[in-house]
Structure 1
Amino acid sequence: MTHLSRIIAGAGVVALGVSLAACSSGSGSGGSGGDKYSIVFLASSSQNGYNQAVYEGVQKEAKDLEKKLGITITTKIQDGQFDANTQLSQLQNAGTTGQASGIIVVPQDGPGLAAAFPLGNDVPVVSVLNPIGPDIDKMAPQIDGVVSTVASSPSEGAARQAQTVVDYCKNIDPCKIGLVAGLLNSPLDVARIAAWNKVLAQSPNIKIVGTVEGAYDRDKSLTAVSNLLQANKDINGILSNADQQTQGAQIALENAGIDPSKIFLTGGGGTTEAVKAVRDGKWTNDYLNYPVSMGKAALEQLVNKLRGEKVQSVVDADTLVKIGPMATKKDLDAVPDFTGEWNG
């Protein structure tokens, strides 16, 4: 997955947030027309393109549900600043003030957010991208108060990515690979790195020449990979979990005189830039994510809960769109109209 970067927010996306209003929850069985719901969206970073895309999906679904159900939905986005303590405080506040009908969160630290529960009020929570609770790979709600998780196992996804490296390196010995993770202290990325290492360790010909932090940011990844290449100009590939990081890696490779299309290069996120790079043959493949669709699914389940209707406790993010999740040029050529759901 999935997939977070500190890209400066476009005013158009952030402007979609509206002031949080007092609400009547309308949580009786079936709900009724005219119900009003106030939704707080807790972004791990509101300046991050992935979070913005999830919020865009929330906004689109809100408009659709208003027309379909005759209800009113207002939303507010809060910036977690890629800081676990900040987001924990925001979750506690949103669950206590009495102004929020429901909460959607993209956790910076899923295990750490468990400390916010039980919330001060009975406010349902939906988690996107990774779960809330001690097990980063368990999608079923682990905490009372979390009603649904819209995500896929980060370890399984990372293992799937790493296997494509194994396939590429099959006839290369040694096959020198650099790893670019998002935040080295994030539970999500710790799980991904562990899964990468476990799969790659089974192939003795693969040598990991370094693991660097890209912080879901193109420029930081450019610097990190440039430093990695100083001692590894004969590198055979870069494995990254975020498209923005892979964009930075691509620039670093080109600056070092290395043709990206001649080595293994992958990312995660399914940005329009990544889809084009794979189509053009510059990247080997990409792990596609669908953050807009994930945001839509999250609000759908949250409103179902508020209206007393059936809730899907786990929405597998990898099944929201037909193509993927791992996509090569051949895969993308089979669906020429697919461009990705967001810009990195």
Structure 2
Amino acid sequence: MHIRKYGQVRKTGMAVGAAAAVLAFSTACVAPGSETGPASTTAASQAAQGDDAQKRIAFFGFARANAFAVATWNGIEEYAKANNATAEFFDPNFDAQTQVQQIQDAVTSKRFDVFIVQANDGASVVPALRQAVAAGITVVAEFTPVGTAYDTADSQVPGVVTLVDVPTDNGKKLGELGVEACRSKNLDPCKVAYLEGMKSLPLDNARTEAAVKALEAADGVELVSRVEGGYTREGGRKAMQDVLQAQPDVNVVIGSSQAIAGAESVVKGKGVLLIGNGGSRQAVKAVQDGRWFATYYLPEKSAGAKAAELGLAKARGQQVEESNSETVLAPNDGKGTKEALAGVAGEYDE
């Protein structure tokens, strides 16, 4: 998305990755670490030195000003330092075409053994990643699916390892959490509003349709509103005001963690159960404090470390699973209820 979901999006192309973030996630932090890479060398020359030679990772994240991408980077950098590798963050600042050019330039430079790609636009990066694989570089697609299918963790580019959050799986779980919230209130019908991410994005539409399907399949649950809430507090606040004008007796509201944070100020004291899509420390605490019913939670710093682990293992000649879902890293398969998040702190700030 939980991109977000991710902060303010400046272009349609770049927004796909940002929204997938949920999913959502803010731009409050600035990443640590140097952007200056070590002296140039080739992947081939490193391979000739054997599997124990120091490896070099290039991380193509959403943006350095994005807290979610920063969490990913922190996990990558820490794992690299502990496992005889270096890492460098390439910052496209949410621009999909800039990211594609950075990947192509990194292939040409022959400086890196591993690419970890957090795609701003999963379709746009496909040709560049094919080029990287052909050049003998190990490629890991992290969080955002690479390709045009949003219902699978399977690799859509031959040779690319995935560690992704499947958008339709995310949406289905949000819908299921909505049903759980309704059951907790013992209402029939239970009225639910879904604050969509960005209707212009295919990835967001796939997530929305999966959530809607899960809600509509449940007896006694009525989806009364679908309004674009986006990935900002202001967007969520405005969307919630619109929902209440038409549905003043709504019982449950689902949206990105930022949109739900905005909606919270509008429904305070009305008994509305809130469900976020994002695993920031703030969202986790809102659930633990009982202000929100649940949030879809992924430990993103841990995911960054796992992506580095997969990439370095493959680059060193080890067998790794080609297709991987990030939800295996999360408690309760990502469904962050108060019980599931007991003792969890979250791994980034919004």
Q: Distance in 2 between matches of 1:225 and 1:45?
A: 29
Which residue of structure 2 aligns with residue 126 of structure 1? 140
Distance 1:207-1:74 versus aligned 2 partners, 3 A rule: closer
Q: CA deviation at 1:84?
A: 3.3
Distance 1:44-1:182 versus aligned 2 partners, 3 A rule: farther
Q: CA deviation at 1:153?
A: 2.4
Aligned counterpart for 2:124 among listed residues 105, 112, 119: 112
SS of the aligned residue for 1:331 comes to coil
SS of the aligned residue for 1:119 comes to helix
1:30 and 1:309 in contact (8 A); partners too: no
Distance 1:252-1:98 versus aligned 2 partners, 3 A rule: farther
Q: Distance in 1 between matches of 2:50 and 2:194?
A: 49
Say yes or no: does 1:19 pair with 2:36. Answer: yes
Q: Distance in 2 between matches of 1:330 and 1:10?
A: 28
Say yes or no: does 1:338 pair with 2:344. Answer: yes
What 5-or-longer segments of structure 2 have no aligned partner?
8-25
1:29-54 Cα deviation digits (max 9, x unpaired)? 96124x241x2222223322211111
Which residue of structure 1 aligns with residue 82 of structure 2? 64
Query: With structure 2 as the length reference, what TM-score do the two structures score?
Result: 0.82
Aligned counterpart for 2:59 among listed residues 34, 38, 41: 41
Q: CA deviation at 1:159?
A: 0.9
**Could you tell me which amino acid in structure 2 is paired with residue 325 of structure 1?**
G
**Could you tell me which amino acid in structure 2 is paired with residue 209 of structure 1?**
S
Aligned counterpart for 2:164 among listed residues 129, 144, 151: 151
**Could you tell me which amino acid in structure 1 is paired with residue 35 of structure 2?**
V
What 5-or-longer segments of structure 1 have no aligned partner?
67-71
Aligned counterpart for 2:175 among listed residues 144, 148, 162: 162
**Could you tell me which amino acid in structure 2 is paired with residue 128 of structure 1?**
E
Q: CA deviation at 1:58?
A: 0.8
1:24 and 1:36 in contact (8 A); partners too: no
SS of the aligned residue for 2:211 comes to helix
Which residue of structure 1 aligns with residue 29 of structure 2? 10
1:166 and 1:200 in contact (8 A); partners too: yes
- Give structure 1 regions of 4+ aligned residues with deviation exceeding 6 angstroms: none
Which residue of structure 2 aligns with residue 230 of structure 1? 245
**Could you tell me which amino acid in structure 1 is paired with residue 227 of structure 2?**
T
1:184 and 1:213 in contact (8 A); partners too: no
Q: Equivalent residues in 2 for 1:176-255 (5 A)? A: 176-203=191-218, 205-214=221-230, 216-240=231-255, 242-254=256-268
1:304 and 1:311 in contact (8 A); partners too: yes
1:179 and 1:238 in contact (8 A); partners too: yes
Q: Distance in 2 between matches of 1:205 and 1:324?
A: 23
1:290-330 Cα deviation digits (max 9, x unpaired)? 10011001111111222222223233311224455213223
1:95 and 1:122 in contact (8 A); partners too: no
SS of the aligned residue for 2:140 comes to strand
Q: Distance in 2 between matches of 1:270 and 1:40?
A: 25
Say yes or no: does 1:102 pair with 2:132. Answer: no
**Could you tell me which amino acid in structure 1 is paired with residue 36 of structure 2?**
S
Say yes or no: does 1:294 pair with 2:309. Answer: no
Q: Number of residue pairs matched?
A: 323
Which residue of structure 1 aligns with residue 51 of structure 2? 31
SS of the aligned residue for 1:165 comes to helix
Which residue of structure 1 aligns with residue 334 of structure 2? 325
1:140-159 Cα deviation digits (max 9, x unpaired)? 2221341x111242212311
Q: Distance in 1 between matches of 2:147 and 2:252?
A: 34
1:131 and 1:139 in contact (8 A); partners too: yes
Q: CA deviation at 1:206?
A: 0.5
Identity %: 28
Query: With structure 1 as the length reference, what TM-score do the two structures score?
Result: 0.84
2:6 and 2:68 in contact (8 A); partners too: yes
Distance 1:207-1:319 versus aligned 2 partners, 3 A rule: closer
Q: Distance in 1 between matches of 2:180 and 2:89?
A: 45
Q: Distance in 2 between matches of 1:281 and 1:222?
A: 20
Which residue of structure 1 aligns with residue 86 of structure 2? 73
Q: CA deviation at 1:266?
A: 0.6
Distance 1:177-1:312 versus aligned 2 partners, 3 A rule: same
**Could you tell me which amino acid in structure 2 is paired with residue 109 of structure 1?**
D
Which residue of structure 1 aligns with residue 150 of structure 2? 136
1:45-82 Cα deviation digits (max 9, x unpaired)? 3322211111111111112113xxxxx4131231241x
Q: Distance in 2 between matches of 1:124 and 1:331?
A: 35
Distance 1:30-1:293 versus aligned 2 partners, 3 A rule: farther
